[in-house]
Structure 1
Amino acid sequence: MDENRAIADKLREAAALLEAQAAGPFRAAAYRNAAGTIDALVVPVRSVFETEGIAGLDALPHIGRGIASAIAEILTTGRWSQLERLRGTSDPQALFQNVPGIGAALARRIHETLHVDTLEALEAAAHDGRLERVPGVGPRRAAACRAVLDSMLKRVRSSGHVLPPASPQRPSVAAVLAVDREYRHEADAGRLPTIAPRRFNP
């Protein structure tokens, strides 16, 4: 049921944005749990709404009145105003720094080079080769990011629970060492972006 999945994805996106903005772990958890409920439905969520209204949505597990109203808005208008507001205030660079191995400078380059704004879009870029073209990444570092993102997002999609921010899954030691070797190789070859000291800037 594609519509169910699309609505669940919107709920998860809202949860991720709330986490990135440090705007309340309980709200984020509520959205993730609601997404899990929608994913598990054996009937289209639209049919529940059309036959029972918001009360029918509210009666589903992990879906309170507020989330029921949000789902109703999506079903009737195709939009969710709260998600649009969250997108407008989200900082993709801060979001990307939640990924182990991505610091502030690299997060900025990723956003400016690829114009991606979500972890899902970053994961897609890691899989289709675009991430490797960002200065300072390369194949090995992209592979490490791809593995971490796959693990992070797989846990979100399968469980509907909040990812523990204090202990994200780390890439293997071998992957980290491989990234370090590639970084040193690129640095020795002079292929990494550099920033001139201020006195040398015009």
Structure 2
Amino acid sequence: MTKHKVISQTTKSKFDLFRFQTSENEVKIEYNNIYNQKTDTTFFIIPKTQKLYLCIEKMKDYEIETFIEKSLEENKNWKLKLSGGSCFVFTDTEIKIIPNKNGAILKYKYVEERNGKKIKEKKEIKLDKRDLDNLIKFEKKLRLLNSAMRRCTPVTYYYLSYGNETIEIRDQTCVGIFEEYLSKIIERNN
């Protein structure tokens, strides 16, 4: 931002605010995303531009074979347990992906306590190629949460398992990763 005049910058709120003035037609902003990856976004400035918004949840994809991909290749189950509370999840939930000849099935078990009453729900959902691609992206983002920025409490704990391997993941980001991927699949199949 060397060609631009910084007016103010604050990091006191959940979402940082940065104000600047420029005479340039193009502004490239480098920043750390929610996953603490260094990334950048280029904006084209027009006379009426008032506010620019960065998608801090934008992730740099990286080459890693996910448990879901291994599960599909080796025809073994993938499992995710999540518990605790956050802005988006107040439950104990278990999700399994079970590969089969035609793709995969998602088994979903949900338990929530409200006013001393337990609410239980079980579902079985047939996954298509788009669902599986989205779940692979979900797992990649999920794996980045342990090094992500902490922006809220309480914590949601995810336990990702494949075979004998289990990874514990703590989510304090308030980005709603569960809502973005898994809830959409589950709600679409209600």
Q: Same fold (TM over 0.5)?
A: no
**Structure number having the greater strand percentage:** 2
TM-score, normalised with respect to structure 2: 0.22
TM-score, normalised with respect to structure 1: 0.21
**Structure number having the greater helix percentage:** 1
